[in-house]
């Protein structure tokens, strides 16, 4: 199997990240990873990233040095309305052109403020001053437009630091612009699979073991997310694409049960889609996850077609009162027990009238653990009026990660049920 | 008022991050934030971070350039056992000294492998080859030792890329080493306030307007988070600290109602703490937020003392069945109406027996909006058996951000109620 490598960039792209918050440790930069990932889809790779604080002289110096050595310099941050947003002025100094009111930028600001009934104040107006001759890059979601200039034979592109704004600007404007400027870059063909329930190293090992003849021209790489793991298959020429499809098919025969979906599909989106396809509804009865499963489901547009009610039954009393868990169920083994989660899901199904239900009760910690039920212990029940399944797991993480993993597992068990997957997932043996 | 600036580092620290995974977008760098934060505690600040891939020539060049301009150069990554771990060899080339087996390093590797019953293989043994004359920096948790050399009048410190190893190495070894090398660094004094309901630019404007005589030695800076905004007051000498406290007090007189807490306190933590202090309980009845408010509350350790039940009533039927919203309430204005949220919170209070309740019903989008109720419209009701308050807001964001903001506002309204704050928050007029 081929090692993950940065593809040999024919086009030299460098990134300059600016902002004191990036230097002080206050903010972790996720923008440059986003930039790298999106540029890779058009066949471009980063060769260097430089991060500096909000200092005019340093900014101008660094832009000069980087532009001398790049085909493309992407500057990120410093386009906001405040006094420490220096990028426009720095570019103006760099290229020796004055800052002037840009008509496109001012029109954008006016309509942006109007749509929000904000007054267009002096601070905002500052965002319309761009270096003379700069080409505006539209910002569909924020007040600050981006812009580009040419300097030292390098395309200098200035972008906002707010990740949601950067994302939209890359998708709608910058990638297009770069493809026009550099028509010879070859975009790799990428297939992304989202997996749940397999770890990166285990998966890597099993691919090496099961596919000793994996071809070098189909690159395999991973990105460990929470809670899903992304597996990426990449080919760099058109002729290699059919081979990628062939090996994807082979791979799916092995690990298909763990594939939540292609592209950026997540667990909740897949569960809502499966329920909608089958014209079924789901209910949730949550103790230790405290509403997180329901909130994940209702994050998905159109969830109302498949989800009508959820219960957060955090205390024993409320487990009884809201979904009718009988006192007797608590007697033998307390609230974190098979008997209780079974009654929780039965009660939830009955009251909501949903076709499927999932219930969880566990010890999220940091307190409340015992020898027989350590922190991280959770009972899950899921199923329908026809049949209820139960499972005990111990997920020894911190409170937030525990809640996140239990919610993901609950969604995955519903996904497996809807797909009629018989084989129990490996996490049943991993978390014990 | 003094602007946010990188404190003038008397000691110039730069960081060189290495690794293809950092360039390709696969891995987000969190190490440099950790380094910056830890160095700030001993009065040192980063002036530049450079990130490059695993390329020997580039690595040596970059080390040379950075060491010429730094007092301290922290190199992170590339100390592992694999062939693309190049740091030791690069330093050897940089300083023109051969790689030799370091006795301390080999002893560490031997005992590290022995403790784990691993064989000491060739790959691991590579980690004991360090540039001649390098000073070993112990690694208490991993196989790769760190090391330092002096070059171009700069202390070059090489550290492992694994975050848990770096953390321990910084805490136990590197900070001590740097304090010895630079005894004159002064640690700044920092006060962090978490605010909700004020925007960064508005706040900055109001500080400029209300405090024209803000002293230059008390630095003000902001970090816009979602949903809170962090305001940081920093002083750099011990004599300035009382002044920081004085101006903090003045600031709180102006904007105290918006301060959720000090340090890293968030809305849910503060709400749970206030409820616990007052020995009160809370319930939630959620439509458009789908369980997110409840899940935020139950994220907080000890939430079970103040939160027993939450309701996710996503459909009209379930609003009726779970919390008894009468059919008549829907008649006049549908499910997103004052009448319905009022009945939702009344029903939730009654069934759960909680002291306080909050209910939300809105249109999260992307579909479902009308002219009179556009996407983003939400009705909120909150209060107790004594008195119910209601408010209509329009929060025009995407679905996820809408849910997040509505949840935060719901928590903030409960916080204000518990603190008996009479003045309505500015977001009542911003979101209309």
Give the gap in angstroms from C-alpha B122 to the nearest C-alpha of chain A: 20
Could you tell me if B395 and B425 lie in one domain? yes
- B75 in a domain, yes or no? yes
Residues of chain B neighbouring A80 (CB-CB closer than 8 A): 201
- A3 in a domain, yes or no? no
**Residue A54 and residue B286: Cβ atoms within 8 Å?**
no
Contact by Cβ (8 Å): B337, B329:
yes
Residues of chain A neighbouring B4 (CB-CB closer than 8 A): 20, 54, 84
Could you tell me if A164 and A286 lie in one domain? no
Neighbours of B133 (CB within 10 A): 12
CA closest to B397 among chain A residues:
A141
pLDDT for the residue numbered B201:
77
- A2 in a domain, yes or no? no
- B2 in a domain, yes or no? no
Residues sharing a CB contact under 8 Å with residue B373, sequence separation 6 or more, in sequence order: B334, B336, B363
Could you tell me if B290 and B418 lie in one domain? yes
pLDDT for the residue numbered A2:
31
CA closest to A142 among chain B residues:
B397
Q: Scan residues 370-399 of A and list those with Cβ closer than 8 Å to B.
A: 399
Q: Per-block average pLDDT, block size 10, for chain B (432 residues)? A: 40 94 88 93 91 95 95 94 88 97 93 82 86 95 92 96 93 95 84 92 85 93 87 90 96 95 96 98 98 98 97 97 97 95 98 98 94 95 97 91 97 98 92 75
How far is it, in rounded angstroms, from Cα A104 to Cα A48? 32
Tokens of B57: 């020539």
Tokens of B199: 């925007």
Residues sharing a CB contact under 8 Å with residue A424, sequence separation 6 or more, in sequence order: none
Domain stop point among A208, A240, A262: A262
Could you tell me if A171 and A299 lie in one domain? no
Domain stop point among A262, A285, A318: A262
Could you tell me if A304 and A286 lie in one domain? yes
- A4 in a domain, yes or no? no
Half-sphere exposure of A361 (CA within 13 A, CB side): 27
Could you tell me if B167 and B226 lie in one domain? no
- Hey, what long-range contacts does A202-206 have (CB within 8 A, 24 or more apart)? A203/A229, A203/A231, A203/A255, A204/A1, A206/A254, A206/A255
Tokens of B294: 């409840």
Q: Scan residues 120-159 of A and list those with Cβ closer than 8 Å to B.
A: 121, 123-124
How far is it, in rounded angstroms, from Cα B266 to Cα B263? 9
Tokens of B195: 């605010």
Could you tell me if A366 and A403 lie in one domain? yes
Going by C-alpha positions, the residue among B235, B227, B289 that lies closest to residue B258 is B227
Interface membership of A54 toward B (CB under 8 Å): yes
Half-sphere exposure of A85 (CA within 13 A, CB side): 26
Which CATH number do you get for residue B234?
Answer: 3.30.70.2860
Could you tell me if B426 and B360 lie in one domain? yes
Interface test with A, best of B34, B272, B291, B325 (most A CBs within 10 A): B291
Which CATH number do you get for residue A72?
Answer: 3.40.980.10
Going by C-alpha positions, the residue among B68, B430, B90, B286 that lies closest to residue A309 is B286
pTM: 0.84
Which CATH number do you get for residue B311?
Answer: 3.90.950.20
> Please, what is the Cα angle at B148 between B144 and B151, to 5 degrees?
140
For A343, the domain range is 267-430
How far is it, in rounded angstroms, from Cα A291 to Cα B310? 8
Q: Is A72 exposed, middle or buried (0-12, 13-18, 19+ CB in 10 A)?
A: buried
Q: Per-block average pLDDT, block size 10, for chain A (432 residues)? A: 40 94 87 94 92 95 95 95 89 97 93 84 86 95 93 96 94 95 85 92 82 92 86 90 96 95 96 98 98 98 97 97 97 95 98 98 94 95 97 90 97 98 91 76
**Residue B36 and residue A55: Cβ atoms within 8 Å?**
no
Could you tell me if B67 and B152 lie in one domain? yes
Q: Which helix (H) or strand (E) holds A130?
A: strand A129-131
Q: What is the total count of domains within chain A?
A: 3
Interface membership of B175 toward A (CB under 8 Å): no
Residues of chain A neighbouring B50 (CB-CB closer than 8 A): 48-51
Task: Indicate left, alpha or beta for B364 from its phi (over 0: left) and psi (-120 to 50: alpha).
Answer: alpha
- B6 in a domain, yes or no? no
How far is it, in rounded angstroms, from Cα B319 to Cα B335? 9
Query: Could you tell me if the ipTM is greater than 0.85?
Result: no
Question: What is the DSSP code string of A39-53?
Answer: HHTTT-EEEEEEEE-
Question: What is the DSSP code string of A276-320?
Answer: HHTT--EEEEESTTTTHHHHHHHTSTTGGGTEEEEEEE-SHHHHH
How far is it, in rounded angstroms, from Cα B245 to Cα B259? 15
Tokens of A104: 């496109």
Domain stop point among A181, A212, A245: A181
Residues sharing a CB contact under 8 Å with residue A9, sequence separation 6 or more, in sequence order: A44, A45, A46, A47
Could you tell me if B258 and B275 lie in one domain? no
pLDDT for the residue numbered B325:
98
CA closest to A21 among chain B residues:
B223
Reported as a single tens digit per residue, the pLDDT across A352-401 is: 999 999 999 999 999 999 999 999 999 999 999 999 999 999 997 789 99
Residues of chain A neighbouring B20 (CB-CB closer than 8 A): 4-6
- A107 in a domain, yes or no? yes
Reported as a single tens digit per residue, the pLDDT across B107-163 is: 999 998 888 777 788 778 888 999 999 999 999 988 889 999 999 999 999 999 989
Could you tell me if A146 and A195 lie in one domain? no
pLDDT for the residue numbered B206:
83
Could you tell me if A246 and A286 lie in one domain? no
pLDDT for the residue numbered B332:
87
């Amino acid at each position: 199997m081929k090692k993950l490598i940065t593809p040999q960039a024919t086009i030299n792209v460098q990134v300059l990240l600016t902002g004191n918050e990036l230097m002080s440790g206050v903010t972790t930069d996720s923008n440059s990873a986003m930039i790298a990932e999106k540029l890779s889809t058009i066949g471009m790779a980063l060769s260097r990233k430089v991060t500096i604080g909000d200092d005019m002289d340093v900014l101008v110096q660094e832009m000069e040095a980087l532009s001398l050595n790049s085909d493309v310099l992407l500057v990120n941050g410093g386009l906001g309305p405040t006094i420490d947003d220096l990028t426009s002025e720095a570019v103006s100094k760099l290229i020796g052109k004055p800052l002037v009111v840009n008509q496109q930028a001012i029109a954008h600001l006016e309509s942006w403020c109007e749509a929000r009934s904000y007054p267009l104040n002096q601070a905002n107006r500052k965002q319309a001053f761009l270096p003379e001759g700069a080409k505006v890059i539209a910002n569909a979601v924020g007040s600050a437009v981006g812009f580009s200039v040419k300097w030292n034979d390098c395309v200098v592109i200035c972008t906002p630091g707010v990740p949601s704004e950067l994302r939209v600007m890359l998708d709608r404007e910058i990638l297009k612009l770069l493809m026009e400027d550099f028509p010879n870059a070859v975009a790799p063909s990428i297939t992304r699979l989202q997996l749940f329930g397999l770890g990166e190293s285990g998966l890597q090992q099993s691919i090496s073991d099961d596919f000793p003849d994996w071809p070098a021209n189909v690159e395999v790489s991973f990105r460990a997310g929470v809670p899903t793991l992304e597996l990426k298959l990449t080919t760099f020429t058109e002729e290699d694409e059919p081979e990628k499809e062939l090996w994807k098919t082979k791979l799916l025969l092995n690990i298909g049960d763990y594939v939540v979906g292609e592209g950026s599909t997540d667990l909740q989106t897949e569960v809502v889609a499966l329920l909608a396809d089958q014209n079924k509804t789901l209910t949730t009865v949550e103790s230790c996850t405290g509403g997180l499963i329901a909130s994940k489901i209702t994050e998905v547009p159109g969830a109302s077609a498949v989800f009508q009610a959820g219960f957060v039954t955090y205390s024993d009393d409320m487990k009884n009162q809201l979904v009718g868990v009988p006192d007797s169920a608590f007697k033998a083994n307390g609230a974190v027990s098979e008997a209780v989660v079974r009654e929780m899901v039965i009660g939830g199904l009955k009251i909501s009238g949903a076709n499927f239900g999932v219930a969880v009760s566990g010890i999220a910690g940091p307190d409340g653990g015992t020898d027989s039920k350590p922190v991280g212990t959770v009972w899950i029940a899921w199923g329908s009026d026809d049949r209820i399944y139960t499972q005990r797991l111990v997920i020894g993480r911190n409170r937030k990660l525990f809640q996140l993993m239990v919610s993901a597992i609950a969604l995955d068990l519903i996904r497996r049920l809807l797909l009629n997957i018989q084989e129990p997932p490996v996490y049943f043996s991993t978390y014990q």
